[in-house]
Amino acid sequence: MSRTYISELMASLESGKFTFTGELEPEKTTNLARYIEAAKKIKGYVVACNVTDNPQSFAYISSLAASYIVQRETGLETIYQVTCRDRNRIAIFSDLLGAGALGIKNVLALTGDYTTLGDTPQAKPVFDLDSVQLVRIIRRMVDEGVDVNGKPIEAPPKFFIGAGANPNANPIEPELIKFEKKVQSGADFFQTQVVFDIEKAKSFLEETRKYNVPVMIGIFPLKSYGVAEYFDKNVPGVKVPGELMDALAKASEISDKKLRRSRYDEINLNFFTEFIRELRRTTSAAGCHIMSVGYEEIIPPLVEAVK
């Protein structure tokens, strides 16, 4: 009996193919033209593309609306990010029904960053659920066709359910406990926080291999030295390797804009090509989630380089 796949992402991961996903971060706008163009650039190189839900607690366009519009306009499958920070279980359940009605097939369940990190720090955080509970609720919607309290849903949605993980966590043990809970709650796949240290990625993948759930390692090509410096200083638990920072710093001194851009591209391609090749050679990684927001042009040559 042939397997019925909910989405292209599910088919790719479950086939064992090393899979790439991308990420879009629509901001304070109702005009998604540039994000649609970005999605078109990476279509064919990534199987699906995350659409973020108010990342770092910045108030942006609805991830549900943006996911639907990008998917409708480009044909590139989206991964609808849902955080627990801004909505209670009633609102989240309602949005998930809406996502199902709009033809969205992939969902990434996240707890969300605390509100004081963003541009509306006076906002009251909700956190009625955490990501483990959210995964469980979505699983019941899909498998049992019921709501939070076990009441039946007419024409329940079908989702491929993702969850987040952080190989950089220190200590790592609580993160591994959460990973196991998400697996037990019904997560179909994982995308990790950005990892620059290949040994951390290897160690995390070895620890989680026993669960037999696809894990995609997150990577973050650095568009400029300024982006790298900000990332290194402001993203908790993630350090950009010194040699990469040094190379980007030297490139930033190139006065010719085109040559500087070309050098930045070369540095990223060299670093991440070897990183991905090492993952493919030596680990159980199911793929890479490429978080190149605003730097989508790096994805086609990177994916081609590691084929």
Q: CA-CA distance, 82 to 109, in Å (whole number)?
A: 5
* Ordered domains of the chain (ranges, CATH): 8-305 (3.20.20.220)
Question: Measured between alpha carbons, how far is residue 161 from residues 120, 178, 182, 272, 282 in Å?
Answer: 29, 16, 10, 27, 26
Q: Is the pLDDT of residue 267 over 80?
A: yes
Q: How confident is the model at residue 233 (pLDDT cuts 50, 70, 90)?
A: confident
pLDDT of residue 237: 77
For 107, the enclosing helix (H) or strand (E) is strand 106-110
What percent of the chain has a predicted confidence (pLDDT) above 90?
94
| C-alpha–C-alpha distance, residues 104 and 120, integer Å | 29
Predicted TM-score (pTM) of the model is 0.96
Integer Cα distance of 197 and 186 in angstroms: 28
Q: Is the pLDDT of residue 295 over 90?
A: yes
The model's pLDDT over 35-83, given as tens digits with 9 standing for 90+, comes to 999 999 999 999 999 999 999 899 999 999 999 999 999 999 999 999 9
List the beta bridge partners of residue 163.
Answer: 109, 190
The gap from C-alpha 73 to its chain's centroid, in whole angstroms, comes to 21
pLDDT (tens digit per residue) in 15-41: 999 999 999 999 999 999 999 999 999
Radius of gyration for the chain, computed over Cα atoms and rounded to the nearest angstrom? 19
Judge whether residue 2 has pLDDT over 60.
no
Q: What is the predicted pLDDT for the residue at 236?
A: 74
